[in-house]
Amino acid sequence: MSGRKCCSQEISGVVRKKKTPGNLLLMQKQYFYHVKELDTKIAVVCGSTQGIGKAVAMQLAQMGAEVVLVARNEKKLVQTLSELPVPNGQNHRYIAADFSDYRAVSEVLDQWVAAGNEADILVNNTGGPKGGPIIEAGISEFIETFNQHLICNHLLVQALVPGMKKRGGGRIINIISTSVKQPLPGLGVSNTIRGAVGNWSKTLANELGQFNITVNNVLPGATNTVRLQSIAEVKSGKTGDSVEAIFDEMAEESPMKRIADPSEVAAAVAFLASPAASYINGINIPVDGGRTKSL
């Protein structure tokens, strides 16, 4: 364990070697801000039983936040709940909600807020739709993805912002995709809806800043998740290339010649949730090793 000072925030790093798809050896360094950084804060983290969402939940819990997990699989929610760090003796909780049914999500949120619950931090995070050329996409694919991403995000914001105002401010962090800046080949529906979420987010940032509520986006590139595995498998089925070869190809697209670990994306979310990011609002932060070609 090592420590250093950065911008008056104590940071510690844990380094371990991890084998990643594509036979790339990643020296993974997990950063945790000071455990008291988010003490007394309540963080609602969506899609938090696997991948990036779970990594975010673990990171925020380690920083002292009381985490409210949100996902559809209650068994996985219970398991993840048992894994969350409790450095301050936090009482972590969960909400079971299926984002494929936005009306049910709205009902669950209404009940949660009516019970007197509030939050300081909201992390919007939802798995993407299946890949494919946009010309082949059905109308239902656009509608379903729009509902799962933008509409459910909006319902969460509408439910939690009143409480954030009462508590003197808040953080809304949307995990989207680098396709907000640069459309990705073969992800037509995702590119379209992610762009809409990006514009929705910027509009919110302009409206909510006066209440000390910031709204920012984290844009992951290729990250070692179930979602990326699925994309690679679909591409493998079409091209005949092995999944491993496709991961190697993805890694080569990044100047760093590897894909990300979910904890590296979570570190960006943790920064935006921390006091150090108090005047950062309405921006997109790509976490892609430099793959995105635009500024």
pLDDT band of residue 48 (cuts 50, 70, 90) is very high
Write b or e for each residue in 223-256: b if 16 or more Cβ atoms lie within 10 A of its Cβ, otherwise e.
bbbebbeebbebbbeeeeeebeebbbebbeebee
Tokens of 13: 């790093």
For 26-44, write each residue's pLDDT tens digit: 434 455 555 678 999 999 9
Report the side by side order of strands in the sheet with 24-33.
Answer: 2-6, 9-20, 24-33
Percent pLDDT > 70 in the chain is 88
Instruction: Kindly list the distances between the CA atom of residue 213 and the CA atoms of 55, 120, 162, 230, 233, in Å, as whole numbers in the listed order.
Output: 23, 9, 11, 35, 40
Instruction: Kindly list the distances between the CA atom of residue 151 and the CA atoms of 187, 199, 226, 238, in Å, as whole numbers in the listed order.
Output: 20, 13, 23, 32
83, pLDDT greater than 50: yes
In this structure, are residues 126 and 46 in contact, taking their beta carbons and an 8 Å threshold? yes
**To which H or E segment does residue 201 belong?**
helix 188-208
Higher pLDDT, 13 or 57: 57
Residues 6+ apart with CB under 8 A from 71: 46, 47, 48, 49, 53, 77, 80, 94, 96, 97
For 182-204, write each residue's pLDDT tens digit: 999 999 999 999 999 999 999 99
Predicted confidence at residue 2, as pLDDT, reads: 38
Higher pLDDT, 113 or 6: 113
Predicted confidence at residue 229, as pLDDT, reads: 84
Selection from 208, 219, 106, 98 nearest residue 162 by Cα: 208
Q: Which of 32-36, 94-98, 213-217, 265-269 has the lowest mean pLDDT?
A: 32-36
Determine the number of helices (DSSP H) and then strands (DSSP E) in the chain.
9, 10
Percent pLDDT > 90 in the chain is 78
pTM of the predicted model as reported, rounded to 2 decimal places: 0.88
pLDDT band of residue 262 (cuts 50, 70, 90) is very high
Q: Which domains does the chain have, with CATH numbers?
A: 36-221+251-287 (3.40.50.720)
Q: Which of 60-64, 127-131, 190-194, 270-274 has the lowest mean pLDDT?
A: 127-131
Q: Rounded to whole angstroms, how far apart are CA atoms 169 and 125? A: 21
Predicted confidence at residue 12, as pLDDT, reads: 40
DSSP three-state, residue 198: helix
pLDDT band of residue 230 (cuts 50, 70, 90) is confident
